[in-house]
Homo-oligomer: A and B are copies of this chain.
Amino acid sequence: MYKININEITNYFIQLQTRISISLEKEEVKKKFTKEIWNRRNVSYGITRIIENGLVFEKAGVNFSFIKGKKLFKSALPNNKNTEGKPFIATGVSSVIHPNNPYVPTAHFNIRFFISENGDWWFGGGFDLTPYYPFKKDCLHWHKTSKNLCDKYKENIYLNYKNWADKYFYIDHRKESRGIGGIFFDYLNKWGFKKTFSFIKDVGNSFILSYIPIIKNRKCNVFTKKEKMFQLYRRGRYVEFNLIYDRGTLFGLQSRGRIESILMSLPPKVIWHYNYHPNKNHKEDKLYSFYLKPKNWI
């Protein structure tokens, strides 16, 4: 087996964090990313980069973290009983962007690497897009970029990983998808380290290629107060998903990571209306009746 150099991975992850931050900053005019470095007992550490109250980004976070843990929890595990309870290292980059303009979708990105004391390792990750007032063209672009990325590796992984995302980014208690999906994968090691790591790097690049053009195209759209309210309402679903289902959040809470970094994914402003349903044939209804139903975009 390839002898794994964890520094090679963390170096790439930190570079990618910087690249994502710079790409986003270019779209913002008012604010720059802050940068906080934290560490826990000189064992676990992380870099948290945040923009709040920007003109384009109401809240944008890009996290890097490196966690050394004593016992790998079930929630983080593949179906491999050997690894449960073992000491482990987990490192990753994750990003959640909450734009100000409801015509710019919220986006989420994550890649992570796990290795347990007995040498078992795997990568996981993915990204998904959560529009409020979607454009078909943007959805096609989003999924096409993912498909191009996946097709470089194996013909059928795009559909596998796209379906996995549709299943994963699903708010069961609402019977609603969180957004239009993307790709999701976990426990990836079957290609060997070199090829898998190269795929992971392409996932990182692909996120930037997918998302930045959508921001660029929509960030100057004019929007009404009512549309802003709808965005704040829909952000409630994001909170529900992240606090009830999201594995990254659950893993973070269980591994007692830095709470402010874990919860940077929560939207800056949210409203919950009791029993709200959009009017039929309004733009808001189209989101539910068309875009939030998993489909083959390509």
Q: Which positions in A face B, CB cutoff 8 Å?
A: 36, 50, 52, 59, 61, 173-174, 236, 239-240, 243-244, 253, 259-260, 262-264, 266-275
Contact = CB atoms under 8 A, between A and B. Distances in A.
A243 B264 CA distance: 17
Given A243-B239, A243-B244, A174 B259 contact: yes
- Quickly give the copy total for this chain: 2
10 contacts: A59-B272, A59-B274, A173-B253, A174-B259, A239-B243, A243-B243, A244-B253, A268-B272, A268-B273, A270-B271
Contacts of A268: 271-273
B52 A273 contact: yes
Given A243-B244, A244-B243, A274 B50 contact: yes
B266 A269 contact: no
A81 B272 CA distance: 38
A240 to B, nearest CB: 6
Nearest to A172: B253
A123 to B, nearest CB: 26
Contacts of A264: 274
The 8 tightest CB contacts between A and B, nearest first, are A243-B243, A266-B272, A260-B275, A270-B270, A173-B253, A50-B274, A269-B271, A243-B244
Contacts of A266: 236, 272
A274 B260 CA distance: 6
Nearest to A259: B173
A167 to B, nearest CB: 18
A263 B262 CA distance: 23
A180 B272 CA distance: 25
